[in-house]
A and B are shown apart, each in its own frame.
Chain A
Amino acid sequence: MKEYLPLASLWRLLAVMLLAIAPHFVRLPLWESALIAGVLAWRALAVYKQWRLPPNWLKLSITLLAFAGVLLSYNGRLSGQNAGTALLCVMATLKLLEFKDRRDVMVVVFLMYFMLMTHFLFSQELWTVAYLFICVLATTAVLIECQHRGALAPRHTLRKGAAMLLQALPLMILLFILFPRIPGPLWGLPSDAGAARSGLSDRMAPGDISSLIESDAIAFRVTFRDAVPPPAARYWRGPVFDSFDGRGWEEGFVTLAPGYGPEIEPLAQPVRYEITLEPHRTRWLMALDMPVPATIPEDTFFGREGTLLARRNVIERQRYELTSYTDYRLVPQLAAPARYLRLPDTYNPRTLALARELRARHDDDSALIQQVLRMFREQAYYYTLQPPRLGRNSVDEFLFETRRGFCEHYASAFAVLMRAAGIPSRVVTGYQGGQRNDIGGYYVVRQSDAHAWTEVWLAGRGWVRVDPTAAVAPQRIEQSLEAALSALGEGLPGHLSARTRLRYMVEARWDWANAQWNALVLAYGPELQQEFLSRFGLDDLRRMILALTIALTSVLAVIGLMLLRRAAPARIEDAALREWHRLTRRLGRAGFPQGPSEGPRDYADRVSRERPQWQAQLDAIARLYLGTRYQTSAADTAKLRRAVRRLQL
């Protein structure tokens, strides 16, 4: 079967297609990755061994099977971010089985361009820019080769592709800045759009937070506008749990409407800061305990427990400014304490007994709390990332048997004890601390800073934060997780243990670069464009388009002139020949072009016969030219040039 593309070209096309699909292999279902790899390999082999392409019925059945496969793998949907990408990849690969003429090749290459876009729905980090340029260059080189009958060496196609790419860069930047941005979405987003779910969960059971510590993904970045609060005050509030089922804690019902938030009395000056929150697919917006209600962003609400909530799930990176009180009185009057005292009575009997005993001994709530904290601090309780598994009565086993746990164990046990002793309490999860990036002057809070603590309600003081972890491992609060675990001789998770000074410098710079990238390029939307362009007076739509058109046209004109100059006839290196050409051009314009096989002497003679008045001059020039050209006496070149310039016709 006669292939349209030669062997080498087709292999290059297959290699570039593999490059374009490669990052998807981690996301696609296994069967699809295998199918794509198989088809690519088979196609490469088929052209080498000159096998026939599969017949129509086989192609059709594979296509239908692929469709069905995607439907099944993605729960009966073909649209949406994940299913759509899977469908596109498999269709582009199957098109390879049908390669009869130039049109098929062009369709495949265009599909490869289109496929590049799907990567950015999943990740837009800084390295994706390099990937973008490499893939566009490779695909363009393949496209250039396909326009040529026969193979074209990669150095030519890559050089041409690189030239076109570099020339297109200023156009890309101009379009990116000036093209009017319309606030999206235009037709709505599918339900699986944006990043995957990450971070805190809406249920807390022993072991949940410690598994989150394994990830060093960034949860959010904070820039403090004024003074930076000390680590002990840097508690970032996430979901609050008030319902215990014996094993784990869950959130209560939340109302997404204004006016349901708690009452806050400030006691000191607030702190101003700006948060850039990474998407995590839940409604919680991180804020420093407690945000000032008047300053919360538009379209956000306070939950009943004081958590800041967005109207929709956070599926894109968001930036918002807030002000928070670090010193406050929260809910001085508790209307319905029953909710915060409820405990299932068939679980954890020993804990309940201990609580009753403590209540009997201490009448005062604060004293009771101090007693429990003293118990954690002075008795043999350990703070570790890998505690033993707990059974049905998890709090009992933790308090009396294993005595080893992470922040969620301590918080959960403390809250149960408090409730059993009649003090209203709840578990708060979120993040604590954050590491400063010296280069950018901002603080980075990662998933490994996730934390759980409790709040108890005391008459006259409202909800008060009590962090049992501070009793067991104070370095966790004062410094960081690494410091605490190292001081205790505990093993660190992988990403923390490798943090040397050098690696910190590199990471800090890379994080700063990423933060700039996020803020300047990825966040460039209608608002940022408006803000940026109004500095140049281009805030009007019409003026924006006018500026864009003028800029594009001028850049294209410059590029066009540059290319035309390279396509112009090359400068002849021989000076004498150049002068001779000048002469023949002049004579040609006067009506006496040099014939294709006419020598200089014959030409001069012919023209002299027609115009005897020029004979002397032409004779001299011809003699000088022949002498210079064939006897290489450099001095005569100057004479020749003078003679030609002085020619009077």
Chain B
Amino acid sequence: MRVWLVFKILLHPLRWAQDRIDAWVMSRVKRQPGPITVSRNRVYILPTRFGYFFALMLLVMLLGAMNYSNSMAFLLTFLLAGIALVCMHHTHANLVNVQMRAGSCEPVFAGETAHFELRVDNPSVTPRYSLVASWPKREQQAVPGDVEARGSGLFLLALPTAQRGWLQGGVFSLSTEYPLGLFHAWTWAELDMRCLVFPKPATHGGTPPPAAGHGGLTSSEASGQDEFAGLRPYRRGDTPRSIHWKSLPKLQQPMVKQFAETLEQDLWLDWSALSGLDVEARLSQLTRWVLDAEALQRNYGLRLPGTVIAPGRGDGHRHACLKALALYAPPSAADAASPADPASHS
């Protein structure tokens, strides 16, 4: 075990050092609301492996210059060494003093990817280039971006979702290797970011909701045979398909066909209608019904144990229903589960 550790340190000194620092820092990062300023004592900096390689190259050049007693070669080597040393300060200054705050996060369905918005403000007069935001252990999906002077940048951190409910954005890192890629400066932070994850909708063709009166889902497909009720003058915005052409030469103005709106009854999406399934499956099916009903522009209401939402339609109503489904907690765990709705999230 010890031998393996020594081997690991020798082969990947940078990785090992970085991991040690990260473990220490992450155990101390506290979740904070509001803007976090990346101050000097929160920034860590280490050479990258290109930095070590560059140092090795400089050493070879130095030995060559000594061997050939070549003054210009010394000048070149020392100039590059000076640039590398100065680069450390530039990389550090590229990250320091930016402010991070949480943006909004669009709700997604379970199984999709949630995108957390991270807003980075640059209050200084120098633009910041190549800042990279990423989750720990997910450096392949790191998000690079620039923030101009006195401006603000947007970074979208993607996180795959598995379960419904609130998904907390955890600790993330903001790092940079600009300008030369020889040094890596980074900081860890945790903002109060969370994403609402709706249950994954069941596949199409599942159990249809109970037909409540004339307005069941099956009968709404017969809307093409609604009764012809008369003509009215064409108004701007009517589709050309609804124009009655036959009357045009006679009346000299376009007329639109009118159909009697069959008054459909409200759909009630009921928890108790799905007795044969377990909790998650019921929630999935209810989600699917909500989406379908919204697509068909029907009024629908939701009935869950402990929650009743009156029928309605539209984005707000859909969101309220999906949210109730996402945050549904079975009554046995009701005391422990439900998180309070934060004022800032809707």
CB distance from A585 to the nearest CB of B (A): 12
Question: Could you tell me the distance between the alpha carbons of A75 and B73 in the complex, rounded to whole angstroms?
Answer: 27
**Is the C-beta of A268 less than 8 angstroms from some C-beta in chain B?**
no
Q: Does the CB pair B73–A164 fall under 8 Å?
A: no
Chain B residues with CB below 8 A from A114, complex form: 57, 60-61
Chain A residues with CB below 8 A from B216, complex form: none
Q: What is the interface size of chain A, counting residues whose CB is below 8 A from a CB of the partner?
A: 65
| Interchain CB contact (< 8 A) of B89 among A179, A188, A525, A563 | A563
**Is the C-beta of A629 less than 8 angstroms from some C-beta in chain B?**
no
Q: Does the CB pair A316–B78 fall under 8 Å?
A: no
Give the contacts of B134-175 with A (CB-CB under 8 A): 144, 146, 149-150
B176-184, B207-215, B236-244 - interface stretch: B176-184
B interface: dominant SS: helix
Chain A residues with CB below 8 A from B123, complex form: 569-570
**Is the C-beta of A175 less than 8 angstroms from some C-beta in chain B?**
yes
Q: Does the CB pair B66–A110 fall under 8 Å?
A: no
**Is the C-beta of A34 less than 8 angstroms from some C-beta in chain B?**
no
- Give me 19 other A-B pairs in contact (C-beta within 8 A), A113-B80, A167-B82 excluded: A116-B76, A117-B73, A120-B70, A128-B72, A136-B76, A147-B129, A148-B146, A168-B83, A169-B82, A171-B85, A172-B81, A184-B68, A524-B71, A563-B92, A564-B93, A567-B97, A569-B124, A570-B150, A593-B34
Q: Does the CB pair A552–B34 fall under 8 Å?
A: no
Chain B residues with CB below 8 A from A521, complex form: 71, 75
Give the contacts of A495-527 with B (CB-CB under 8 A): 521-525
Q: Does the CB pair B181–A193 fall under 8 Å?
A: no
CB distance from A109 to the nearest CB of B (A): 9
CB distance from A618 to the nearest CB of B (A): 21
**Is the C-beta of A267 less than 8 angstroms from some C-beta in chain B?**
no
Q: Does the CB pair B54–A568 fall under 8 Å?
A: no
Q: Does the CB pair B180–A168 fall under 8 Å?
A: no
Q: A116-B76, A563-B90 in contact; A140/B70 too (CB < 8 A)? A: no
Q: A117-B73, A144-B180, A176-B74 in contact; A164/B64 too (CB < 8 A)? A: no
CB distance from A134 to the nearest CB of B (A): 12
A interface: dominant SS: helix
**Is the C-beta of A187 less than 8 angstroms from some C-beta in chain B?**
yes
| Interchain CB contact (< 8 A) of A149 among B78, B83, B87, B130 | B130
**Is the C-beta of B86 less than 8 angstroms from some C-beta in chain A?**
yes
CB distance from B229 to the nearest CB of A (A): 50
A-B pairs with beta carbons under 8 A, tally: 171
Chain A residues with CB below 8 A from B82, complex form: 167-172, 175
Question: Could you tell me the distance between the alpha carbons of A176 and B144 in the complex, rounded to whole angstroms?
Answer: 38
Question: Could you tell me the distance between the alpha carbons of A184 and B68 in the complex, rounded to whole angstroms?
Answer: 7
Give the contacts of A112-170 with B (CB-CB under 8 A): 113-114, 116-117, 119-121, 124, 128-129, 132, 136, 140, 143-144, 146-149, 152, 156, 160, 164-165, 167-170
Q: Does the CB pair B93–A567 fall under 8 Å?
A: yes
Contact with B along A551-571 (1 / 0, CB 8 A): 010001001100110111110
CB distance from A564 to the nearest CB of B (A): 6
| Interchain CB contact (< 8 A) of B81 among A120, A175, A181, A570 | A175
Question: Could you tell me the distance between the alpha carbons of A563 and B70 in the complex, rounded to whole angstroms?
Answer: 34
Q: Does the CB pair B86–A129 fall under 8 Å?
A: no
Contact with A along B36-74 (1 / 0, CB 8 A): 000010000000001001100100110111111111111
Q: Does the CB pair A184–B67 fall under 8 Å?
A: yes
CB distance from A212 to the nearest CB of B (A): 27
Q: Does the CB pair A185–B69 fall under 8 Å?
A: yes
Q: Does the CB pair B129–A164 fall under 8 Å?
A: no
Q: What is the interface size of chain B, counting residues whose CB is below 8 A from a CB of the partner?
A: 55
Question: Could you tell me the distance between the alpha carbons of A460 and B206 in the complex, rounded to whole angstroms?
Answer: 130
Give the contacts of B10-25 with A (CB-CB under 8 A): none
Q: Does the CB pair A193–B78 fall under 8 Å?
A: no
CB distance from B9 to the nearest CB of A (A): 22
**Is the C-beta of A54 less than 8 angstroms from some C-beta in chain B?**
no
Q: Does the CB pair B72–A522 fall under 8 Å?
A: yes
**Is the C-beta of B79 less than 8 angstroms from some C-beta in chain A?**
yes
Give the contacts of B279-299 with A (CB-CB under 8 A): none
Question: Could you tell me the distance between the alpha carbons of A544 and B90 in the complex, rounded to whole angstroms?
Answer: 28
Of B40, B60, B78, which is in contact with the most chain A CB atoms at under 10 Å from its CB? B78
Question: Could you tell me the distance between the alpha carbons of A172 and B75 in the complex, rounded to whole angstroms?
Answer: 7
Find the A residue at minimum CB distance from B83: A168
Give the contacts of A544-596 with B (CB-CB under 8 A): 552, 556, 559-560, 563-564, 566-570, 593, 596
Q: Does the CB pair B72–A566 fall under 8 Å?
A: no
Contact with B along A46-85 (1 / 0, CB 8 A): 0000000000000000000000000000000000000000
Q: Does the CB pair B50–A106 fall under 8 Å?
A: yes
Find the B residue at minimum CB distance from A557: B89
Interchain residue pairs A-B with the least CB separation, the first 6: A168-B82, A171-B82, A569-B123, A120-B72, A175-B78, A563-B93
Q: A110-B53, A171-B85, A189-B67 in contact; A179/B78 too (CB < 8 A)? A: yes
Give the contacts of A299-358 with B (CB-CB under 8 A): 316
Chain A residues with CB below 8 A from B146, complex form: 148
| Interchain CB contact (< 8 A) of A182 among B53, B66, B68, B80 | B66
Q: Does the CB pair A165–B83 fall under 8 Å?
A: yes
CB distance from A229 to the nearest CB of B (A): 33
**Is the C-beta of A186 less than 8 angstroms from some C-beta in chain B?**
yes
Chain A residues with CB below 8 A from B97, complex form: 567-569
Find the A residue at minimum CB distance from B125: A570
Q: A136-B80, A569-B124, A570-B124 in contact; A121/B70 too (CB < 8 A)? A: yes
Q: Does the CB pair A172–B181 fall under 8 Å?
A: no
Question: Could you tell me the distance between the alpha carbons of A146 and B94 in the complex, rounded to whole angstroms?
Answer: 16
| Interchain CB contact (< 8 A) of B179 among A120, A144, A169 | A144
| Interchain CB contact (< 8 A) of A147 among B63, B66, B85, B130 | B130
Q: A144-B178, A522-B71 in contact; A559/B40 too (CB < 8 A)? A: no
Chain B residues with CB below 8 A from A124, complex form: 70-72
Q: A120-B72, A164-B86 in contact; A187/B57 too (CB < 8 A)? A: no
